[in-house]
Structure 1
Amino acid sequence: MGGTEPDYRFSLANERTFLAYLRTGLALGAAGVAAVQFLTSVEPAWLRRLFGLVLAVGGVATTLGAYVRWRRTGAAMRRGAPLPATLMPLGLAFTVFVVTGLAIYLIAFGQR
């Protein structure tokens, strides 16, 4: 990556953030599988699959974004450059928004 080695505390903070995003991605993926497998009473079935798909895609996107963010942040610290902007919080907020919207729809209209 080049540049100078940053203070280890900043490197460890970057790694902790990376691991937190990985945990979030794993939780989203597991929730997607659980939604499809265990919400079998949810009708219509497409809603259950959509719920699971949004969660799983959110998990994959979070995991990939975590790696990209970790690499870019580490490289910026080594160069002494400003830390790069990230869309990760926006992506996670959007995923939560969609899942919550689907849950509201499910509560209001899904079970007849």
Structure 2
Amino acid sequence: MTERDEQPAETEPDYRFTLANERTFLAWIRTALGLVAGGVAVQQLVPGLATAGARTALAILCITLAAVLAAASYPRWRTVQLAMRRGAPLPRSVLLIVLACGISALTVFAAVLVLVG
């Protein structure tokens, strides 16, 4: 067995970092819940916004982005937790770009629906 094959020793990280990581995970979940609520609200509560098809498309985009965030949030939490335990650099997250681009797209789509309607 070479040094390269050995796993770094894991140590318990400072509890403050563990709790901060947990708060970040919960923030991703809250964001996902907000997107689900927004998708349902667009579909059910604003019938005058646009055609039914456009409202449904906006609602589906909201709920799809929520599903992606919810599904990716736990693996992200786990990866960060393992990096902290091993004293490794924190991994980069693709979730930030996904969320920023997704929210931007939703905002532009909603703005178009408001301006056209």
TM-score by length of 1: 0.90
Deviation at 1:43, TM superposition (A): 2.9
**Structure 1 unmatched runs, 5+:** none
Paired position in structure 1 for 2:33: 26
Paired position in structure 2 for 1:58: 65
Could you tell me how far apart the structure 1 residues matched to 2:10 and 2:72 are?
23
Could you tell me how far apart the structure 1 residues matched to 2:53 and 2:18 are?
44
Deviation at 1:90, TM superposition (A): 0.9
Q: Map of 1:1-112 to 2, 5 A cutoff?
A: 3-109=10-116, 111=117
4+ runs deviating over 6 angstroms: none
Could you tell me how far apart the structure 2 residues matched to 1:94 and 1:6 are?
32
Letter in 2 for 1:72: T
Could you tell me how far apart the structure 2 residues matched to 1:31 and 1:104 are?
14
Which protein is bigger by CA-based radius of gyration?
2
Equivalences, count: 109
Letter in 2 for 1:88: L
Could you tell me how far apart the structure 2 residues matched to 1:57 and 1:91 are?
12
Letter in 2 for 1:101: V
On the 8 A contact 2:49/2:114 being kept in 1, the answer is no
Deviation at 1:38, TM superposition (A): 1.1
1:43-77 alpha-carbon deviations (Å, 9 max, x no partner) = 32111001101110111111112111101000111
TM-score by length of 2: 0.87
